[in-house]
Homo-oligomer: A and B are copies of this chain.
């Protein structure tokens, strides 16, 4: 069994290993989706008369077998298999002979891989929506438990005015709801069936039925243009990861807040000991590593997005092998989004707010604005009220630390 494109010349092993890269590992998670795509393709080939019922049944049966093997962890792609598509087709051909070979009629690896990827992306994005919902729930629960606890709000990293835990939690809830709108927007964008566009220029001669495979694979609509199918690689991935970076924008800010509010001299938020780590040299330290890693992942996701946007730049239309590198980037982005959401939600369930510490930290000068507005209510223009209050703050912001 060989590469799908081998013509009798033996490829150099080092070069194959360099070009395959981590693909054989990354593709492990695509096996299932590639089988789904192939099943729909086989059914379609049967419908238009290229596969007999018997051939189709054999192929579909074997593909289902592969799905089962894969779910048990028994369908391992090895470096020499190159990728999941080759491995699956080789399995079909080994088992079914010429019948197995027929599956690649009227398709190219180019549309095949985009189909599998897109099915996978949709699943991951829906998983992320679920995980975000859990995070929202834990934010709501924290808010409910401590809604009335007053805490300082900051501007310029300085205490500014009085706010409270509910308002603070709500700021992330509203942020995540916006993110979910954008997740839905990218799901809609990518929800187009690429199957049937071949190598990027359609399938000549044969009369394939793209509507049939689109419906069977539950895509919202067909992606008509075969060139665009290839050109949208990198583009769709870039925008998906951009939206994931919005989620991480919020996580980054949330984590930054928690790290500050749980500092030893503030301790409004108490992170349970089992979620902290210590220092190998300083006996007293309890560190918020989990929030630091969550915070740091923002930089990772942004850099992955940037890679996706840079990779296809200045390249002409049509598939380029460069696009293979989009896989690792988006897979990594999905993984850390999911891991981070899961972990943060778990920790949040046990975060505690220390009322007493919060009270102490809400110092008097944070009410300066409120005092100014009380003067406004008495008819004094705000600008004048502002100056009166400013003057009366004996040592406006020179309060020595108590």
Do A205 and B163 have beta carbons less than 8 Å apart?
no
Of A156, A161, A231, A297, most buried by chain B (CB within 10 Å of CB) is A156
* Cα–Cα, bound, A122→B42 (Å): 47
Closest-CB distance, A132 to chain B (whole angstroms): 15
Partner of A105, one of B98, B257, B305, B382: B382
Do A170 and B300 have beta carbons less than 8 Å apart?
no
Say whether, besides A175-B235, A287-B155, A322-B295, A205 and B374 are in contact (CB < 8 Å): yes
Of A295, A314, A363, most buried by chain B (CB within 10 Å of CB) is A314
Closest-CB distance, A141 to chain B (whole angstroms): 18
Tell whether A127 is near chain B: CB-to-CB under 8 Å: no
Partner of A256, one of B98, B160, B181, B314: B314
Tell whether A245 is near chain B: CB-to-CB under 8 Å: yes
Partner of A283, one of B7, B288, B356: B7
Would you give the 0/1 interface string for A357-371, flagging 1 where the beta carbon is closer than 8 Å to chain B?
100110101101110
Which residues between 78 and 125 of chain A lie within 8 Å of chain B, taking CB atoms? 98, 101-102, 104-110
Partner of A278, one of B7, B178, B309: B7
Do B286 and A396 have beta carbons less than 8 Å apart?
yes
Partner of A318, one of B154, B203, B296, B366: B154
Do A401 and B320 have beta carbons less than 8 Å apart?
no
* Cα–Cα, bound, A298→B93 (Å): 38
* Cα–Cα, bound, A256→B157 (Å): 10
> Which residues of chain B come closer than 8 Å to A277, judged between CB atoms?
3, 5, 11, 19, 321
Would you give the 0/1 interface string for A263-299, flagging 1 where the beta carbon is closer than 8 Å to chain B?
1111100000111011111111111111011011111
Q: Which residue of B lies closest to A243 (CB)?
A: B239
* Cα–Cα, bound, A305→B267 (Å): 35
Tell whether A58 is near chain B: CB-to-CB under 8 Å: no
Do A227 and B314 have beta carbons less than 8 Å apart?
no
> Which residues of chain B come closer than 8 Å to A382, judged between CB atoms?
101-102, 104-106
User: Which of A24-32, A209-217, A387-395 forms part of the interface with chain B?
Assistant: A387-395
Tell whether A260 is near chain B: CB-to-CB under 8 Å: yes
Do B383 and A316 have beta carbons less than 8 Å apart?
no
Do B288 and A156 have beta carbons less than 8 Å apart?
yes
Tell whether A218 is near chain B: CB-to-CB under 8 Å: no
Would you give the 0/1 interface string for A12-49, flagging 1 where the beta carbon is closer than 8 Å to chain B?
10110011010000000000000000000000000000
Tell whether A72 is near chain B: CB-to-CB under 8 Å: no
Tell whether A146 is near chain B: CB-to-CB under 8 Å: no
Partner of A18, one of B260, B274, B290: B290
28 example contacts (A-B, Cβ-Cβ < 8 A) are as follows A3-B278, A98-B384, A101-B383, A154-B317, A155-B230, A155-B319, A156-B259, A157-B260, A160-B285, A161-B200, A174-B228, A178-B189, A181-B189, A198-B281, A199-B369, A205-B373, A206-B376, A206-B377, A238-B245, A252-B313, A253-B312, A265-B361, A283-B386, A298-B314, A299-B313, A303-B310, A314-B315, A357-B400
Which 4 residue pairs spanning A and B have beta carbons closest together? Answer: A5-B278, A303-B307, A296-B322, A185-B185
